[in-house]
Amino acid sequence: MLIKTKQNPHKLLTHGYERTDPYFWLRDRENPEVIAHLEAENAATKASMAHTEYLQNQLFEEMKNRIKPDDSSVAYRLDNYYYYNRFELGKEYPIYCRRKEDMKNPEEIILDVNLLAQGKNFCELGGSTVSTDHRYLAYAVDYQGRRIYTIYIKDLETGDLLSDEIPGVTGNMVWAIDNFTLFYSKQDEVTLRSDRVFRHRRGTSVAEDVLVFEEKDETYYIQVNKSKSRKYLFIHSSSTLSDEVSYLESANPEGTFTVILPREKEHEYAVDHLGEDFYVLTNDQAKNFRLVKTPVINPSRTHWTEIMPHRPDVLLEGIEIFRDFLVLDERKNGLNQIRIMPWSGVGEYYLEFPDPAYSAGVDFNPEFDTQVLRFSYQSLTTPASTFDFDMISRERTLLKQQEVLGGFSPENYLSERIFAQAADGTSVPISLVYHKDTVKKGDAPLLLYGYGSYGYSMDPYFSAARLSLLDRGFIYAIAHIRGGSDLGRQWYEDGKMLRKKNTFTDFIACGEYLIKEGYTRKGKLFCMGGSAGGLLVGAVINMRPDLFFGAVASVPFVDVVTTMLDEDIPLTTGEYDEWGNPAEKEYFEYMLSYSPYDNIQKCPYPHLLVTSGLHDSQVQYWEPTKWVAKIRDYRTNDNRLLLHTNMSAGHGGASGRFEPYREVALEYAFLLDLAFPELVNIR
């Protein structure tokens, strides 16, 4: 029996609108009644899903057993070392290793995360970086899931942990070339906005660390990194729609950072270095970005030389610089492209990929003086693969493909790329995958996944866990809706701010199209999304509660208006350019018109599973908690309405290699039980 959720209503008055929130009290994580409520919800979910426990365990074991227990990553070369990580049988966390000069030489374990995690309910390794001389490893660890890290420094020559311990940081850090100076970023204690960069000298007290940069604009976040040449350190200060990059010679760590281009509204840019020039990826007069170079000694616009002009049909997403080649990460017609351009200007070309829907991109390439490009590739039917590509001979070598145990064969699965028509006539891509034995006659259950925010593109990716759905007859589809950058920058802009509802109507159009074309039928269509994708789920089940039979919302951002009015909550101030600032009436009213929490109505809602994390710093646990409580009080049917809160984790769920799959197993069991209730009786 759940405890009573309504208490004295909290009144909110904005722009003349009075909103009452009887569930506002659930925001107090220190209140024992709140913890009791979350535990009661967890108990109710466990009881409701008790009949699926065998299926959940079966699913978990399937997912776990598809993973090679003693797997390792592909080694990359940095100077005279080869770095990689590996897993050992029965262990949850990676072991980071290296070998000197040749992979045949003895292995050196530089960090065993399993040892860090001993006795901990949660353990997440944040950033890690090796000093230029390869002797010192700086790494950051979070033991709560709130993404507040502590930096440690290890002497790799002696194996000793130094006395340096830097708490309360973001996990972002970089060594200067002197091997003594470490720059790191720190966050505001209330909002968790990364706002400061400090300089730390190895072996000194944290109290002596020097503040070298402070970002006082509450809409900006900062990050410190290094050019590929390792000659320059960069502080990147960015908001949703604006960037400012400052630089400092790595050999002069006690110098002053100098701004490359002062921040301007709606000017986004990123910088790398080659020779005497900075290479600037910029959207200045280029919605889909262009590439210019400019002298380090005077990087102003008046000295720009254009390398790659703007193209209205191609989004330029990134660059990789080599001695003899420039490599471009591009996106055209919603698909990734890798373009190879010799600096000589002769003989440029594109890599070719076989699948109708896929994900490809430049991988980690720390070496400058090489003709070999490392890139990654995967599709809905092809496991994640790493290739080395000789840019002169054009020979590609498969270094590693994710090994999927349990008899997996890609020939057993089919993928498609189709297009639905949105309400305004826009064509919206959909990527699908299903088992070859699944008969597409309108009776197959279909899970439609979406995100559609922040310009993040949802590329078709392989999932070994997803096979547990496909092998049982589900079709899986990704809706490439507006709000992402799947079809370029305009695709993003048409799904944000005062056009945000396009994201939701696109998703609805995709669902309707899949029914119309006979991929599934009403009563068999399900949806799923997480974080801002959870906002998507919440919005569409308010707009069309009849369309989906069941829905899964993971750590959903559903209390949009209240959250965006609260500047003390992490992420709020930096997201005004994504959602709008509700202090302005126009944006307040528009947010209010779609915010899932504010638009709950008296109607029959689909079956709903909601997951959350008590220590989530991105979507506070109380948003999904309040949302579920309010739906429970408003809905007019008795479909399943379940909330599961991980009491030991944050936004990303459980830590470790295998434990996160227990939560996936819960979600899949929820879907499979609704689609094939007879499955739960199979032993």
Q: For the sheet containing 108-112, what is the strand order?
A: 76-78, 81-86, 95-100, 108-112
End-to-end CA distance of the chain: 30
| Contact between 612 and 645 (Cβ < 8 Å) | yes
Alpha-carbon separation of residue 98 from 127, 135, 175, 369, 385 (angstroms) = 17, 12, 19, 21, 21
CA 478, 316, 369: angle at the middle one, nearest 5? 115
Nearest to residue 293, comparing CAs of 276, 318, 311?
Answer: 276
Half-sphere exposure of 552 (CA within 13 A, CB side): 24
Residue 216: exposed, middle, or buried by beta-carbon count in 10 A (0-12, 13-18, 19+)? exposed
Q: Is 200 a catalytic residue?
A: no
- The active-site residue, picked from 142, 486, 616, 673, is 616
CB-count exposure of residue 442 (10 Å: 0-12, 13-18, 19+): middle
- CB neighbours of residue 153 within 10 Å: 22
Upper half-sphere CA count for residue 68 (Cβ side, 13 Å): 12
Cβ-contact 343, 324 below 8 angstroms? yes
Query: Among 37, 480, 615, 651, which one carries the catalytic annotation?
Result: 651
- Write down the catalytic residue from 194, 431, 457, 531: 531
Neighbours of 318 (CB within 10 A): 15
Distance CA 6, CA 29 (A): 16
Q: Enumerate long-range contacts of 363-372, CB under 8 Å, 24 or more apart.
A: 364/76, 365/320, 365/322, 366/76, 366/77, 366/78, 366/228, 367/77, 367/78, 368/228, 368/229, 368/321, 368/322, 368/323, 369/322, 369/323, 370/322, 370/323, 371/322, 371/324, 371/325
In 49-122, which residue ranges form alpha helices assigned H by DSSP? 53-65, 113-117
Question: Does residue 242 carry a catalytic annotation?
Answer: no
- Looking at residue 589, its amino acid is E
Based on the residue annotation, tell me whether 531 is a catalytic residue of this protein: yes
Pairing of strands 232-238, 243-249: antiparallel
Write out the E strands in 591-651.
607-613, 641-646
Cβ proximity of 23 and 598 under 8 Å: no
Can you spell out the DSSP letters for 487-504? Answer: T-HHHHHTTSGGGTHHHH
Whole-number Cα distances in Å, 362 to 241, 388, 431, 499, 665: 24, 10, 22, 32, 32
**By the 8 A CB rule, do 554 and 611 touch?**
yes
Q: Within 13 Å, how many C-alpha atoms sit on residue 638's CB side?
A: 1
Report the distance separating Cα 650 and Cα 144, nearest Å: 7
Block residue for tokens 């720009």: 304
Concatenate the DSSP letters of all residues of 548-586 into one string: -SEEEEES----HHHHHT-TTSTTSGGGHHHH--TTSHH
Residue type, 40: A
Are the C-beta atoms of 420 and 428 separated by less than 8 Å? yes
Q: In whole angstroms, how large is the CA radius of gyration of the chain?
A: 25
Select from 565, 547, 593, 428 the least CA-distant residue to 494: 428
**Tokens 């009563």 appear where?**
523
DSSP, collapsed to helix, strand or coil, labels residue 449 as: strand
Residues forming the active site: 531, 616, 651
